[in-house]
Amino acid sequence: MKIGVCVKQVPAKDAPLAIVDGGAWIRESDIGFETNEPDTYALEEALRLKEKHGGEVVAISMGPERAKQTIKEALAKGAERGIHVADSEFYKLDPLTSARSLAAAIEKENFDLILTGLQSDDQGFGQTGVLLAELLGRPHATIIMSIEVTDGRMKLKRELEAGWFQWVELPLPAVITIQSGINKPRYATLKGIMAAKKKEIATVDRASLGVADSYTEKVERIYVPQKTKKTEFITGSPKESAAKLIEKLRHEARVL
Amino acid sequence: MKILLITEQRDAKWNKVSFETLAAAQQIAQQAKGSLSGVVIGKGVTALADELAGYQLEEVLLVEHDLLAAYTPDGFSIALRQVVESAKPDLVLFPHTYQVRDFAPKLAASLQKGMIGDCIAYRYENGKPAAAGKLIFVRQMFQGRTAADVVFTGEVPWVASFQAGAFRADLAAKHAGGKAPVKAVSVDLKPEQIRTKPLELFREAKQAVDLTQAPILVSVGRGIKAPENIQMAEKLAKLMGGEISASRPICDEGWLPMERQIGSSGQTVAPKLYLALGISGAIQHVVGMKGSRTIAAINKDPNAPIFEVADYGIVGDLFEVVPAMIEELTIQQGSSS
């Protein structure tokens, strides 16, 4: 089975975010980066499928030069090779243009299966997997919690809302987005890190792919939402304050 | 501005977020002096179309087909593409559900359009829906640490979805004069176009608890007083769709297992809602939960340090407030299901 797995590099979870260029993006110069956590589950699933069914795993990442580090980590964990779609201003792309670029870069690989994480922890568009499927003419399924492959077909456990799941079947080749928590991602071993040094990373300049920059949407401005950690005290009888708190959690904080 | 709202149902039961998006769509239609049509898609959903027609909109489009009885991304994309192409809306709005995440980007891409997904708000530039006032969609980035203003730059139709909870379903206006007409729209679908085979739906028994994955935590501290009172907090957690957790003393006492302990010697969590009941907020506890998106606390002591990190606070007796919350949520859920 030839498996492509899309991995993105994003700011580390604890990185302080300073917004720059009038809200265009964040300052990258003094923060740490890591592999997008949802993608680590997709990579792990790809490696397990390869170990079970044979084949190869190719790690694909679009982003600036730094994104190569995320590919290297995937190689150290066991991916065979990497494809880096280089674009230092990847954050200006809309989801469709990003997906068109990735599709153009990997089309001729003819993967049996393409895996992605659920969404990225930076922009969080959550569309790449579904768009890749459409652009490459493959069937897809999202938010997947288990994969069984038999005779060119997959049986998948798809997570729905409110504790529900559904089994779905689809033929290969296909594109699947993986739900976080599907597995326990492995750590790279020292041996793996050494072996990765000899593995190939092909770099493709995004501009060379011939994907028109016909944007359908544009992020005008990124900003820190106003948040004042000032406790709002709710008063009234127990019944009144209970109702008010629920109302606020539901419609003001929107967490219920 | 012609708006098309795509509602969601399963087994002829609404996904309630549909009505939140209906409220948003009505609001945009009113401000832009546009029109709004609602779409009900599936099989055997005539009654839902009739129900939707009781709301303020121009018309309801009823899209039924044998191959739409069970959801598939292929079936729904192909069918809705035909609906969009014939209705020619400027804006297609979805509730941002798991199902919408699964097919709406595909539908948009098949129309050569992008989608702005998971929006939490919209506004008109300069506050005016005039030709000069751009329609701006607001969505979260960096896991909610930042917001972003996003605009459509290409040709219509535009496709967007609104996050659950972004708008209030109870603000969806009923139809002013009776009912909107329901129009059946036929779509052309063939079995061989549908590559996914949907099988059975099921629920699983709860596995060993992982508090870091829980969206909501109801956490108890010394103020809960006795082990038999934990039941009440568990009931509240269940109604809220969350898990129960505790501060160290509760687990030391053995009232709850150690795996449910939050704090420096327990787990570090960051749920979207952390509700602290009778927890004073010692630093050893606070380090384990201060990253929560929203913190609410109920405590008798107005000077309890938990209120320093809380977004919402009730100074009062949790044995009075918690039962009142349980009662309120039970009534709400009873009336909405």
Q: Which amino acid is at B38?
A: G
CA B195 to chain A, closest CA, distance in angstroms equals: 6
Closest partner residue to B118 among A126, A170, A232, by Cβ?
A: A126
Q: For residue A52, what are the CA distances in angstroms to A40, B25, B169?
A: 18, 49, 48
Superfamily of domain A2-209 in CATH is: HUPs (3.40.50.620)
Q: Which amino acid is at B101?
A: R
Closest partner residue to B195 among A171, A220, A254, by Cβ?
A: A171
Q: Which domains does chain B have, with CATH numbers?
A: 2-193 (3.40.50.620), 211-336 (3.40.50.1220)
What pLDDT, on a 0 to 100 scale, did the predictor assign at position B208? 59
Ranges A75-89, A180-194, B159-173, most confident:
A75-89
- pLDDT band for A243, please (50, 70, 90 cuts): very high
What pLDDT, on a 0 to 100 scale, did the predictor assign at position B207? 45
- pLDDT band for B26, please (50, 70, 90 cuts): very high
CA B16 to chain A, closest CA, distance in angstroms equals: 12
Q: What is the mean pLDDT of residues A21-38?
A: 93
- pLDDT band for B266, please (50, 70, 90 cuts): confident
Q: Which residue reads 């401000």 in tokens?
A: B31
Query: Which positions 20-49 of A are in contact with B (Cβ < 8 Å)?
Result: 26
Q: For residue A205, what are the CA distances in angstroms to A29, A82, B103, B242?
A: 22, 14, 30, 46
What pLDDT, on a 0 to 100 scale, did the predictor assign at position B267? 79
Closest partner residue to A242 among B102, B308, B328, by Cβ?
A: B328
Ranges A21-25, B76-80, B153-157, most confident:
B76-80
Which two structure tokens, joined as six digits, stand for B56?
């303020």
What pLDDT, on a 0 to 100 scale, did the predictor assign at position B80? 98
Question: Could A242 and B141 be called an inter-chain contact, meaning their C-beta atoms sit closer than 8 Å?
Answer: no
CA B181 to chain A, closest CA, distance in angstroms equals: 32
Query: Which positions 58-97 of A are in contact with B (Cβ < 8 Å)?
Result: 94-96
What pLDDT, on a 0 to 100 scale, did the predictor assign at position B302? 86
Which two structure tokens, joined as six digits, stand for A209?
């792919």
- Residues in chain B with CB shorter than 8 Å from the CB of A234 are 312-314
- Residues in chain A with CB shorter than 8 Å from the CB of B216 are 255-256
Q: Up-side HSE of residue B58: CA atoms within 13 Å toward CB? A: 15
Question: Could B312 and A139 be called an inter-chain contact, meaning their C-beta atoms sit closer than 8 Å?
Answer: no
Contacts of B276 (CB under 8 A, 6+ apart): B219, B221, B289, B295, B296, B297, B298, B299, B306, B310
pLDDT tens-place string over residues A207-224: 999 998 878 999 999 998
Rounded CA gap, A134 and A118, in Å?
16
Q: Sign (positive/negative) of CA torsion A205, A207, A211, A215?
A: positive
Question: Could A161 and B195 be called an inter-chain contact, meaning their C-beta atoms sit closer than 8 Å?
Answer: no
pLDDT tens-place string over residues B249-263: 898 778 998 778 898
Rounded CA gap, A77 and A88, in Å?
26
- Residues in chain A with CB shorter than 8 Å from the CB of B313 are 231-234
Helix axes A95-106 and A128-136, enclosed angle (nearest 10): 50
* Extents of the domains making up chain A: 2-209, 225-256
- pLDDT band for B286, please (50, 70, 90 cuts): confident
Which two structure tokens, joined as six digits, stand for B241?
């769709």
Question: Could A121 and B142 be called an inter-chain contact, meaning their C-beta atoms sit closer than 8 Å?
Answer: yes
- pLDDT band for A227, please (50, 70, 90 cuts): very low
Percent of chain B with pLDDT over 90: 70
Contacts of A44 (CB under 8 A, 6+ apart): A77, A182, A183, A184, A185, A186
pLDDT tens-place string over residues A76-129: 999 999 999 999 999 999 999 999 999 999 999 999 999 999 999 899 999 999
What pLDDT, on a 0 to 100 scale, did the predictor assign at position A162? 61
Residue A22 has pLDDT above 70, yes or no: yes
Question: Could A225 and B146 be called an inter-chain contact, meaning their C-beta atoms sit closer than 8 Å?
Answer: yes
- pLDDT band for B265, please (50, 70, 90 cuts): low
- CB pairs A-B closer than 8 Å: 226
Q: For residue B244, what are the CA distances in angstroms to A161, B205, B229, B240, B249?
A: 20, 17, 13, 11, 15
Helix axes A238-251 and B318-336, enclosed angle (nearest 10): 50
What pLDDT, on a 0 to 100 scale, did the predictor assign at position B205? 52
Rounded CA gap, A95 and A249, in Å?
31
Rounded CA gap, B229 and B251, in Å?
14
What pLDDT, on a 0 to 100 scale, did the predictor assign at position A164? 78
| pTM score of the predicted model | 0.78
Closest partner residue to B153 among A141, A165, A218, by Cβ?
A: A218
- For all residues of chain B together, what is the average pLDDT? 91
ipTM of the complex: 0.88
- Residues in chain B with CB shorter than 8 Å from the CB of A243 are 324, 328
- pLDDT band for A226, please (50, 70, 90 cuts): low
What pLDDT, on a 0 to 100 scale, did the predictor assign at position A131? 98
Residue B246 has pLDDT above 90, yes or no: yes
Q: Sign (positive/negative) of CA torsion B23, B25, B29, B32?
A: positive
- Residues in chain A with CB shorter than 8 Å from the CB of B201 are 160, 164-166
CA A228 to chain B, closest CA, distance in angstroms equals: 8
CA gyration radius, chain B: 23
Question: Could A122 and B142 be called an inter-chain contact, meaning their C-beta atoms sit closer than 8 Å?
Answer: yes
- For all residues of chain A together, what is the average pLDDT? 94
**Touching check for A218 and chain B: CB below 8 Å?**
yes
Q: What is the mean pLDDT of residues B214-222?
A: 95
